[in-house]
Amino acid sequence: MKIMVCHDGSERSQEALERTVALFKAQKPEIIIVTVVEEPLDATSMDEESFEKWRSRRDQDLKNAANWVVGQGLDVDAILAVGDPRKMITEAAANKNPDILVVARRGAGLLEKMALGSVSAYLIRHAECPVLVMH
């Protein structure tokens, strides 16, 4: 069994990862953690510097999440992609062919409670595998 978990370094995504492991640990799945860093909109040196800091932080968050999974006794694959999160996660899922794709619901404001985030809604419509949205 392969389970892909979207992880953006947030507390919600870490909770989704932990709940996924708790739910499926008995099946000894391979956990594939994917995180995406969006490219800077401008090509200025300030944007590039900000992008590199953000990419470095996401890389460290990804390593921490992967180490946590290994500590749970499971195999892990970690992917850091650059681009539009919706497209990059869909592409990663198509390449890795997970049995299920897990994404955390973002935010807790009134509007966000009424609708899914744009990434989770996109994944539900476009992913080739089942998508589990963790609340």
Instruction: Parse the chain into domains and list their residue ranges.
Output: 2-134
For 114, the token pair is: 């009424």
> Which pLDDT belongs to residue 110?
44
Q: Whole-model pTM?
A: 0.88
**pLDDT at site 57:** 92
- Give the Cα separation of 15 and 33 in Å (integer): 13
**DSSP characters over 48-72:** HHHHHHHHHHHHHHHHHHHHHHHHT
Closest CA to 122 of 9, 36, 11, 32: 36
Return the structure tokens found at 117: 């985030």
Half-sphere exposure of 113 (CA within 13 A, CB side): 3
Look at residues 24, 13, 18 and name the one whose alpha carbon lies nearest to residue 100: 24
**Class of domain 2-134 (CATH, top level):** alpha beta
pLDDT string in tens for the chain (135-residue length): 999 999 999 999 999 999 999 999 999 999 999 999 987 766 566 667 788 888 899 999 999 999 999 999 999 999 999 999 999 999 999 999 999 999 998 754 444 444 456 899 999 999 999 999 998
The predicted structure's pLDDT at residue 113: 44
> 52 in helix, strand or coil?
helix
Report the distance separating Cα 108 and Cα 52, nearest Å: 29
